[in-house]
Amino acid sequence: MVVIMQIGATPEQVAQVEQAIERAGFRAFLNPGVERKVLAVLGVVDAQKATYSDRFARLPGVERVALISEPYKLASRETRAKKTVVQVGGVQIGSDTLAIIAGPCSVETREQTLNTARAVKEAGANLLRGGAYKPRTSPYAFQGLGPKGLEILDEAKRETGLPVVTEVLDPHDIPAVAKHADMIQIGARNMQNFRLLQRVGKTGLPVLLKRGPGSRIRDLLMAAEYIMLEGNSHIVLCERGISTFEDSTRYTTDVNAIPVLQRMTHLPVILDPSHSTGDWRYVGPVALAGIAAGADGIMVEVHPEPEQALSDGPQSLRPNDFAQLMRQIRKVARAVGRKVPA
Amino acid sequence: MVVIMQIGATPEQVAQVEQAIERAGFRAFLNPGVERKVLAVLGVVDAQKATYSDRFARLPGVERVALISEPYKLASRETRAKKTVVQVGGVQIGSDTLAIIAGPCSVETREQTLNTARAVKEAGANLLRGGAYKPRTSPYAFQGLGPKGLEILDEAKRETGLPVVTEVLDPHDIPAVAKHADMIQIGARNMQNFRLLQRVGKTGLPVLLKRGPGSRIRDLLMAAEYIMLEGNSHIVLCERGISTFEDSTRYTTDVNAIPVLQRMTHLPVILDPSHSTGDWRYVGPVALAGIAAGADGIMVEVHPEPEQALSDGPQSLRPNDFAQLMRQIRKVARAVGRKVPA
Amino acid sequence: MVVIMQIGATPEQVAQVEQAIERAGFRAFLNPGVERKVLAVLGVVDAQKATYSDRFARLPGVERVALISEPYKLASRETRAKKTVVQVGGVQIGSDTLAIIAGPCSVETREQTLNTARAVKEAGANLLRGGAYKPRTSPYAFQGLGPKGLEILDEAKRETGLPVVTEVLDPHDIPAVAKHADMIQIGARNMQNFRLLQRVGKTGLPVLLKRGPGSRIRDLLMAAEYIMLEGNSHIVLCERGISTFEDSTRYTTDVNAIPVLQRMTHLPVILDPSHSTGDWRYVGPVALAGIAAGADGIMVEVHPEPEQALSDGPQSLRPNDFAQLMRQIRKVARAVGRKVPA
Amino acid sequence: MVVIMQIGATPEQVAQVEQAIERAGFRAFLNPGVERKVLAVLGVVDAQKATYSDRFARLPGVERVALISEPYKLASRETRAKKTVVQVGGVQIGSDTLAIIAGPCSVETREQTLNTARAVKEAGANLLRGGAYKPRTSPYAFQGLGPKGLEILDEAKRETGLPVVTEVLDPHDIPAVAKHADMIQIGARNMQNFRLLQRVGKTGLPVLLKRGPGSRIRDLLMAAEYIMLEGNSHIVLCERGISTFEDSTRYTTDVNAIPVLQRMTHLPVILDPSHSTGDWRYVGPVALAGIAAGADGIMVEVHPEPEQALSDGPQSLRPNDFAQLMRQIRKVARAVGRKVPA
C-alpha cells in the first residue's frame, strides 16, 4: 500500500499519516520524493489490514492510496500456483479435458429435459445443466418448477449418468438443491449475495460461480473468496458477459477475462456463450473463441424446440446445432492441446 | 409487439409466424411493407403475454421482435398517473418536502451512532440510515454488528425521533430487521435477489430499493414490480451510480435517471451521492445536482470520524460538512419548489 | 512512479529494473517490502519522463507500474491553482456569471437561425451556438451549410450581439471558421483528433472542447494539453455524456465530471444536457443539475420547430421551453451563488 | 419505421402524425392497437428518408419511433450477400487465407523496423504494420517519425515483399502516405473523423478502419458507409477493444463483434488483440479467440525490444513470442477451416 500526499501537504499532515500507519501495526516509510510526498506502508498487509487503506485515504493532506497487491488471497495464484481441479461427479474441471456443460435453461417438462439430456450426452457433453429455480428479470416470466424440477433432473442424471449443475436462489432451498445437485450454481445476479455464497460454501459441494454483468474480475475473485473462507475451494468461475454500451448483443463477452483469470487465480474458468451473446446465431463462434482463449470448458443452453422454450429460447441451440458445435469444439480443443469428453 | 422478418423470408415462414401469433391468443396483422415483412401483434399484450416475444423471435425467418410497451405494469406511470407518496414513520417520501436520509454507513458503536444521529437530526435530516448487516465486497472487511446494531439503531430512533432505514441481506434476518426498521433497504448488490425482494415485499414495510450498478433503469422497475406483486407499493427507488469506464470516481452518477424515473414511474426517486461518487469531496455538488434534477430526496453517509470508519470512510461526510451541505440543499430545494424538513 | 515487482522476482530482475530507472535519469529507491519488492522512481518525473512507465512495465519480473501523479501538467490545478477565465467576445466563461450557450444544432436557414438567435438572446443566453459543418453519424444525414452557414451566423451575431460558437471538423476549414467564430468548438468525435487540436490551438481563438463519449476525464485533460502546448489556454471543457449500457437516454450524463474537473483543472467546465440526454424532456432537469453541481455554464440546443429540424430535433427545446428553463436556471444559479446574464 | 404513440394520444395527434408521414413521401398505416396507437411507415425507407425518424419522434403525442431496418446500406449484407475480398498488394483479405498483419507500433529506427519486418515475415505474417504518424493520448509522448518513417517502411517492404499498412491522422498527410502505403489505416480515435474518412475514401486505396473504443458496431458500419459513398469499398473492419468498467485490461475485446459483423456486413473483419488487451501476456490467447470466432485475420504489435519501445511496449510481443503464436494460429486456423500464409 502506498499513501500519496497532495502536493501542498504540510509536514504535520505527513506526520499524522505516519502515525496512523504505525498505529495500524505497519511501518511507514517516507519516500524522498521531489514533487510530492509518498509513504510506503511496510509490513505484512494481510487481507484484514488491507481494509485500512480507506482510513489512510481520508486523512487530511492525502490525495489517494494505491494498493500494491490484489485484495483476494485464497483465490490468488500468488498464494497457490498449482491449478485447482474441481471434481464434479466423475468429471474433473480444470484438467486437460474440457468441461462441456449443456442442457436447457429451465426444466420445463420431464420429456423436454430427458430428451435434451440424451441429446447433449450423445453429442459429447459431460455435465448437464438445467434450472429448477429461475431468477427472471420479469416477475411475470416462468419462475421454474422448483422441487418437481429437481426430481426431473435426478431422473435425467440416472438415465444419462451426467452429473447435474443447477442454480439456487434462496438460502431456504439449499438443502433441497444440495440433495439433488452435483454442483450448485450461483447465478450472475447473485454473485454478490454474500449470505448465499457463504451458505452454499458450507455445503462443501462444488460451486459454479457466475460473474455479475456489472462486476469487475477482481470482484468475482472476492466473491470466490467468500466461499473459500467457508473451507470450500471447489469453485469454478464462469464468464457470462458484462453490461456495456454495445447493443447488438445482450451482453459483451469479456473474452479477455479468460486469460486474465487463468493468470490471477488457480480456480478453473469456463465461458457461457449463451448468456454472453443472448443470440443462438453467435453462440457457436463465441464458444470456440472461449476454448481458443484457454477456457477450461463452456456452458451452453440447448432446447429441443427453442421457439417453445419458457425461458432463453432466443439463445438456445437445437440439439442438432449443438452436435455440430461439438464437432467444431473437438477440433479447436485439439488445436490448443485440450481434450473433449469421449 | 412487432415481429420483423428477414428480407428473404419466405411466404411459408411468414405464415408460420402468423399462426404462432394467433395460437398465443393475439391477432396477427401483416403490414404491407416493401423491403421486408413486419407483423404487428394485436390484442392486449399483458405482462404475461409479453414473454411470448422470445418465442416469436426464434421462429425461422424472423430477424427480431421489437417491444412497443415497457414490460413493467404496476410500477408504470401509464398504469397510475398519480405520484405515490410513501409514508415512513411520520415522513412522507414523494411529497413536496424532500427526504433527507443521513447517518453512518455501518453502525459501529453506540456512541458513534448516537452522535451521528443527533448531528444529522440537528442539521435537518428527517430519516436515519445505518447498517447492521453489511454487504462487503471483501469477506475480510467489517460485516456489521447484526442484532446488536439493530438495538443501537432503536436507541438512536427513540432519542432523535428519526425513523430508521436499514438494510437486510438474508431472508433469514427479515423478521429481526422488520421489528426494528421503519423502512427496509434492498442494497444495490441484491436488486435482483428476487426471493429477497418477494420476502421483503410480504412484510408490508416501506422498501428502499437501490439500483444495481450494472442494471438498466428498466430492470430496476422490474425489480420494483416483484415487490409490488406482493401487494406492497411502498417503494422508494434509489439511484446510486452505475459501472462505467470512468475511473476518477467509484461509480458514475446517472443523473439522467432522476427525470427518466420521474417520467416512467409513479414511485418516488432519491439519489445516493455517497455511493455514486465514492468520494466525500464530490458528495455535496452531486447531492445538489440530484435535487435540482427533481429527486424526491437524498441519502448521505455521515461519520463523526471518517478516518476511523470501519466502512465507506472515503465517502462519508463529517457532521460539520453535512450541516453545511444542508444549508446549500435548503437553497437549491427552494429554487426548484421543494421544501426541506424544518 | 512506483514499479511493483512480481512476488517471485529475482534479485537480478530487481537490479535490472534499478538500472533501467537510473539510466532514464531517475533515482531508484527500493522499498523494504515483505511480500514483494516495490521500487520508487525518484526525481522530477516530468511529462516527457512519465512515458518511461511503459518501458519499466515491460521489464522481466515487473508486475505493473503505478503512476503517482496525473499525466497532464499545463491543465492541472496543481500547476495553476487560480481558475482560468476564458474571454469570448464580451463574455467571461469561468467567472461568477454563468455562460449560457444556446442556439440551433445546425444552421439550416437564415430565418431559422435569426429567429432562434433573437429568442435565446431575449430569454437570457449570452452566447450563440450553431453548426455550419456537422459531424453526422450517418453520411445520408444533413451535413451542414458550410460557408453559407458561417455567413448566416455572422448576421445573427451582428443583430443580437451574441458571440458565436461553431464547430470545425476539417483543418482545411479552420481559416474560414476562425474568421467568423468567436469560439471554435472541437466536437466529441474529434476530441482525440490531435492534429485538429493542434491546428485549432494555433489560431489562438477560444476553444470549446467536448469530451468524447468513450473518453475518460483524464483523456479529456490530455486533449486540452495538446491545445495548451500550442500556447493557447483559452479552453472551456464540456461534458456531454458518455457511452454506457443504460439505453433509456442516448448517453449518460456524467455529472460527477463537473466537480471532478473543477478540482483537477483550472479550466472552466460546462455541461451540454442536450447531447448528454438526447431527449428534450430531460434537458431541463439535467441542465439544472449541472448548474447545481458547479458547472460554469451550459450549452443547449434550441429550434423554433424541432419537428422540422434537420438534426437533433428530438433533443431540441422550443424557444418557449428554453425561456421557461432560463427562469428556473436563474433560481438555481442564485441558490449556488452564481449569476445569470442580465 | 414504426411510430409509437403515447397511451393518451388524441385522435388529432394521430392525424397530425399521419399527415407528417404522408408529407414526407411515405404511406402511413395505422395498426389497430388496443392499448396504444402504432403507425407503420410504408414505402421505400431509403437511407435519406431514414433521417425523418427524428422528426416524427418530436411530434406531439409520440412516445418514440422504432427503426425496422439498419441505417447503413452499402455495407449491409442485406444489400450485398457475397463477402467482399479486399486486395492489398498480393494479399487477399476476406479469403480463406487469414491476414496476419504484424509489425511495430511505431517506426522508431531503420534497424528496429527492418529487423521486425524480417522476423514477422519469417514467422508467417503477410502484411507489415508500422506507424509513421502516431496519435498519442499524451502530447508529451513520441509522435512518430513522419515522412522519414514512411521511407523506412518502404525499405522494409522492398526487402521483405510485405505490403504495408500505416495510419494517417491528418488529411494534409494523405498524399504522402498514399504514395508509400498499400493500405491506409484509420485509427480508432479517428473512426468518426468524417472528413478524414471521405478523403481517404477518395484515394481508392484499401482502408483498414478501426472501431472507436466508445462506438457501437452500428456506428462502425456507418463510418464504413462514409468511405463507400466515395466509391471505395476496399475496406477491412477491425475490432480493437471497447471502453468498459473492467480495468484489469486496457480495453475489453468485444469478441461478439466478430460473428455479429460477419453477419451484418460483407466487409472483412479482423481483430487487433494488442490494443484490445493492452498487455502482451494476453495477446496470444485473445488472438486465437478471434480466429476461432471467425475473424478474417489479426493485427499484432511486435517489437525486438519491447522494454525500449517508444510506444505500446507493454502490449508488444517479442519476435520469438510472435513466432510461437504463429505456430498456435496455424493449428487453430486449420481447426476452423482457414489457412495461414505459407
What's the 3-state SS for B265-303?
ECCCEEECHHHHHCCHHHHHHHHHHHHHCCCCEEEEEEC
Check CB contact under 8 Å for C331 and B328: no
Interior/surface letters B9-35, b for 16+ CB within 10 angstroms, e for the rest: beeebbebbbebbeebebebbebebee
Chain C residues closer than 8 Å to B284 by CB? 259
Q: Is the pLDDT of residue B342 over 80?
A: no
Chain D residue closest to A70 (CA)?
Answer: D248
Q: How far apart are CA A297 and CA A290, in angstroms?
A: 8
- Model pLDDT for residues B44-60, shown as the tens digit of each residue: 666 666 678 888 999 99
Q: Is the pLDDT of residue B339 over 70?
A: yes
Report residue A116 as a C-alpha cell: 435434451
Q: Read off the pTM.
A: 0.95
Residue B315 CA, chain-centre distance (Å), reads 20
Q: How far apart are CA C283 and CA C295, in angstroms?
A: 15
Asked if B221 reaches chain A (Cβ–Cβ under 8 Å), the answer is no
**CA-based torsion, B193, B197, B199, B200: positive or negative:** positive
Q: What is the mean pLDDT of residues B130-141?
A: 92
Q: Is the pLDDT of residue A12 over 90?
A: yes
Give the C:D interface size as CB pairs under 8 Å.
Answer: 140
Interface test with A, best of C38, C63, C243, C254 (most A CBs within 10 A): C38
Give the A:C interface size as CB pairs under 8 Å.
Answer: 59
- Model pLDDT for residues C182-215, shown as the tens digit of each residue: 999 999 999 999 999 999 999 999 999 999 999 9
Interior/surface letters D180-206, b for 16+ CB within 10 angstroms, e for the rest: bbbbbbbbbbbbbbbbbbbbbbebebb
Q: Are D302 and D317 in contact (CB under 8 A)?
A: yes
Chain B residues closer than 8 Å to A308 by CB? 55
Lowest pLDDT segment from A137-146, C166-175, D180-189, D280-289: A137-146
| Residues present in chain B in total | 342
Q: How far apart are CA D14 and CA D30, in angstroms?
A: 9
Beta-carbon count within 10 A of D67 CB: 14
DSSP state of C265: B
- Reported as a pLDDT band with limits 50, 70 and 90, residue D320 is very high
Kindly list the strands in the beta sheet with D38-42, ordered across the sheet, starting from the edge strand earlier in the chain: D27-31, D38-42, D2-5, D62-66
Lowest pLDDT segment from C44-58, C74-88, D125-139, D279-293: C44-58
- Reported as a pLDDT band with limits 50, 70 and 90, residue B29 is confident
Q: Is the pLDDT of residue D319 over 80?
A: yes
Chain D residue closest to C73 (CA)?
Answer: D140
Mean pLDDT (chain C) is 94
Asked if A332 reaches chain D (Cβ–Cβ under 8 Å), the answer is yes
Q: What is the mean pLDDT of residues C209-225?
A: 97
- Model pLDDT for residues A108-137, shown as the tens digit of each residue: 999 999 999 999 999 999 999 999 999 998
Chain A residues closer than 8 Å to D216 by CB? 245-248
Can you give chain D as a three-state secondary structure string? CEEEECCCCCHHHHHHHHHHHHHCCCEEEEECCCCCCEEEEECCCCHHHHCCHHHHHCCCCEEEEECCCCCCCCCECCCCCCCCCEEECCEEECCCECEEEEECCECCCHHHHHHHHHHHHHHCCCEEECECCCCCCCCCCCCCCCHHHHHHHHHHHHHHCCCEEEECCCHHHHHHHHHHCCEEEECHHHCCCHHHHHHHHHHCCCEEEECCCCCCHHHHHHHHHHHHCCCCCCEEEEECCECCCCCCCCCECECCHHHHHHHHECCCEEECHHHHHCCHHHHHHHHHHHHHCCCCEEEEEECCCHHHCCCCHHHCECHHHHHHHHHHHHHHHHHCCCECCC
Q: How far apart are CA A238 and CA A220, in angstroms?
A: 9
Helix (H, G, I), strand (E, B) or coil at B317: strand
Check CB contact under 8 Å for B312 and A71: no
What's the Cα-to-Cα distance from A79 to each of A48, A52, A69, A294, D249, rounded to whole Å? 16, 21, 12, 21, 22
Nearest to D54 among C48, C139, C314 (CB): C314
Q: How far apart are CA C36 and CA A74, in angstroms?
A: 17
Asked if A36 reaches chain C (Cβ–Cβ under 8 Å), the answer is yes
Q: Is the pLDDT of residue C238 over 90?
A: yes
| Residues present in chain D in total | 342
What's the Cα-to-Cα distance from D17 to each of A23, A302, B184, B232, rounded to whole Å? 71, 45, 46, 39
Report residue A78 as a C-alpha cell: 500468488
Which residues make Cβ contacts (< 8 Å) with residue B216, sequence separation at least 6? Answer: A243, C245, C246, C247, C248
Q: What is the mean pLDDT of residues D4-13?
A: 92
Interface test with B, best of A44, A49, A54 (most B CBs within 10 A): A54
- Reported as a pLDDT band with limits 50, 70 and 90, residue B340 is very high
More confident residue, A44 or A41: A41
Q: Is the pLDDT of residue B294 over 70?
A: yes
ipTM of the complex: 0.95
- What is the end-to-end Cα distance of chain D in Å, rounded? 49
Lowest pLDDT segment from B192-201, C68-77, D293-302: C68-77
Asked if A280 reaches chain D (Cβ–Cβ under 8 Å), the answer is no
Check CB contact under 8 Å for D38 and B40: yes
Residue C142 backbone class (left: φ over 0; alpha: ψ -120 to 50; beta: rest): beta
* C71-100 residues touching A, CB cutoff 8 A: 78
Beta-carbon count within 10 A of D231 CB: 9
- Model pLDDT for residues C259-272, shown as the tens digit of each residue: 999 999 999 999 99
Give all chains having 3 or more CB-to-CB distances under 8 Å with chain D.
A, B, C
- Per-residue model confidence (pLDDT) at position D41: 86
Q: Is the pLDDT of residue D42 over 90?
A: no
Q: How far apart are CA D138 and CA D141, in angstroms?
A: 5
Residue A204 backbone class (left: φ over 0; alpha: ψ -120 to 50; beta: rest): left
Strand D207-210 vs strand D99-103: parallel, antiparallel, or unpaired? unpaired
Angle between helices A194-203 and A217-228 (to 10 degrees): 50
Asked if A243 reaches chain C (Cβ–Cβ under 8 Å), the answer is yes
Q: Is the pLDDT of residue D51 over 80?
A: no
Report residue B167 as a C-alpha cell: 438494510
Asked if A40 reaches chain C (Cβ–Cβ under 8 Å), the answer is yes
Helix (H, G, I), strand (E, B) or coil at A246: coil
What's the Cα-to-Cα distance from D94 to each of D161, D212, D266, D292, rounded to whole Å? 20, 21, 9, 15
Q: Which residues pair with B100 in a beta bridge?
A: B298
Chain B residue closest to A198 (CA)?
Answer: B139
Asked if B280 reaches chain C (Cβ–Cβ under 8 Å), the answer is no
- Model pLDDT for residues D151-166, shown as the tens digit of each residue: 999 999 999 999 999 9
Give the A:B interface size as CB pairs under 8 Å.
Answer: 140
Lowest pLDDT segment from A117-131, B245-259, D1-15: D1-15
Helix (H, G, I), strand (E, B) or coil at A184: strand
Best mean pLDDT range from B33-42, C75-84, D113-122: D113-122
- Per-residue model confidence (pLDDT) at position C53: 86
Asked if C131 reaches chain D (Cβ–Cβ under 8 Å), the answer is no
Share of chain C above pLDDT 90, in %: 82
Beta-carbon count within 10 A of D178 CB: 16
- Model pLDDT for residues A293-338, shown as the tens digit of each residue: 999 999 999 999 999 999 988 999 999 999 999 999 999 999 999 9
Interior/surface letters B130-142, b for 16+ CB within 10 angstroms, e for the rest: bbbbbbbbbbbbb
CA–CA min distance A289, chain D (Å): 4
Q: Are D287 and D295 in contact (CB under 8 A)?
A: no
- Per-residue model confidence (pLDDT) at position A188: 97
Nearest to A288 among D262, D334, D336 (CB): D336
Q: Are C150 and C170 in contact (CB under 8 A)?
A: no
Residue at grid coordinates 398517473: B81
